[in-house]
Structure 1
């Protein structure tokens, strides 16, 4: 993120999106290094907050780019507020539902939350299935739904990263070791797409 910000703010360089590019990266397959990597990325966003005033004064960016980049930079802050408030709200809803079982709108609210979560999983499954088909790796709907549900577990794990990132930043812990990847050489899966390097 810092590279992008410095490029935009200092050089006025234009960036473009190309959906035909695939960056092949080796996955971090162990939970501890994965979590450490995500905390490092999140802490990088925390460290980029000092660029916000310059970002908004920059003549090289349009309003959408300024808002979009600001949202990404402020994500660690919202990532601390939203989960905590959501947990409090859900706890209150469940408690009121149990105490006042025969009356109230609490059941409808909880049911709506469950339906939104299931609908989100179905949409993610459909998108994942489509993306796999696009890169010539078709996947059954059942596997796509399983992946969408496991993605929710992934979200629960990374929901802790903003707290750790802000804690590390406040403590002045800014040194990081690069995430270690294995040395497994895997065959190219995306032979028909343009290389990004």
Structure 2
């Protein structure tokens, strides 16, 4: 077969696989049932908030958590911040015995989020002690700007989550708190503000649409992923993978996915809550978003080493293995896809210029209709999330906006190919160090806006 024939065959195969996957996601998303609530008083809740230079947001976050979840312990891990983060937390800890400041110092500090969370795990473990309470102790990981929904503990204490003793971890839905900000960049023009607002909206649709649909499907395959925000772990589940070093979190760039994978390999079930959520800040600028997503994609590539263990584990069904395989291979497939999709298009463009009469005949005899059908299907696979966003997430969005958002999602998805290539380049070159993703207020040099959990 020629290179062109291989490219056409591969692109057609990948297109069919993705179309089938989207159909599975949509069916699960539409048919998803709400989780059943439970009694949060049956469990002991410990929030862990890793911080590094978070003085702009940590005070507001602690205030929100204190008032919304007064029964919970709040453990703030200050990873050698260079600003006033530790002082803000210390002042609040002096007034509330349920707030704990864990100050990490060099040379042990600034070794990644996983190392900071392992520090928090060890301190909580000592606090709880060797008692029956460990099985009822839940470690909740939230970002420094995180705003969990008020019903989070109630739903995550239910029979679909931690009331089931086989469940070792739960991930809640992630939403973007600044999705409705119309002028995110007051000092810039209307075009820059429209782009920034749309970028935030795309991230909200992404997490509440396709990513949420993936997690709903993973409920059935038993492979719900853990994320960096809104992640909950049973203390005894963390114990089971911590080892002698007392380090349940690993050193992969996608340390939260790695944690969930190790819990599943240890025999624990993982669950997902769509009825509760955590609000976080969407990025308003493209460069930090690309950096963030490149880190995630590279982390997925790093976790490929777990695939043989997943294949040989009795804890995973065939469907579970295939779902994990898809997730791990996705960045690699996007690299391959960016090549096999481009070659037929390039050949078509060349033939259109070099053999105009032949191409005119091809288009007149059904070729144009075939190309139109391909384009409609290719765009619709992404654009449908604009409609589902309106019908399932934000009913206040107009029909026109839903169509506009859907078409924007299709364009936004092209970014994945750029991200996959950047991750691939870093992976093969062995570059694994990353700087902390800077918040919008840091990038703009302004104070972070006060935010609260969205209640709708």
Report the TM-score when normalising by structure 2: 0.39
Q: Which residue of 1 aligns with 2:373?
A: 112
**Correspondence 1:126-141 to 2 at 5 A:** 126-133=387-394, 138-141=396-399
Q: Which has the higher strand share?
A: 2
CA distance in 1, matches of 2:379, 2:326: 26
**Equivalent residue, structure 1, for 2:333:** 78
Which residue does the alignment assign to 1:125? 386
Question: Quick check: 1:4 aligned with 2:265?
Answer: no
Query: 1:186 and 2:454 equivalent?
Result: no
TM-score (normalised: structure 1): 0.85
Aligned length: 187
Residue 43 of structure 1, CA deviation: 0.2
C-alpha separation between the residues in 2 aligned to 1:141 and 1:3?
A: 40
- Greater Cα shift, 139-148 or 14-23: 14-23
How far, CA to CA, are the matches of 1:41 and 1:122 in structure 2?
Answer: 24
C-alpha contact 1:94 1:106 (8 A) present in aligned 2? no
Higher relative contact order (CA 8 A, sep 6+): 1
* Residue matched to 1:19: 274
Question: 8 Å contact 1:38–1:161 — kept in the other structure?
Answer: yes
Alignment match, 2:139: none
The structure having more radius of gyration, on CA atoms, is 2
Deviation per residue, 1:123-158 (Å, 9 max, x gap): 22221211334xxx5100111111112212211222
Aligned residue number for residue 170 of structure 1? 428
Structure 2 Cα separation of the partners of residues 47 and 5 of structure 1:
13
Unpaired segments ≥5 residues, structure 2: 1-256, 441-447
The 8 Å contact of residues 97 and 107 in structure 1, kept in 2 or not, is answered as no
Q: Per-residue deviation at 1:121?
A: 5.5
Provide the rounded CA distance (Å) in 1 between the counterparts of 2:382 and 2:321.
30
- Contact 1:125-1:148 within 8 A present in 2 as well: yes
**CA contact 1:125–1:141 (8 Å) conserved in 2:** no
2-side partners of 1:138 and 1:14: how far apart?
36
1:80 Cα offset (Å): 0.4
Unaligned runs of 5+ residues in structure 1 are 193-197
SS in 1 for 2:280: coil
Q: Specify the SS of the correspondent of 1:17.
A: strand
1:177 is paired with a residue whose SS is: coil
User: Please, what is the CA RMSD of the aligned residues?
Assistant: 1.9
Give the CA deviation at 1:110.
1.7
Distance 1:111 1:122, change over 3 A: same
Distance in 1 of aligned mates of 2:298 and 2:423: 5
* CA distance in 1: counterparts of 2:306 and 2:348, whole angstroms: 39
2:407 to 146, 149, 154: 149
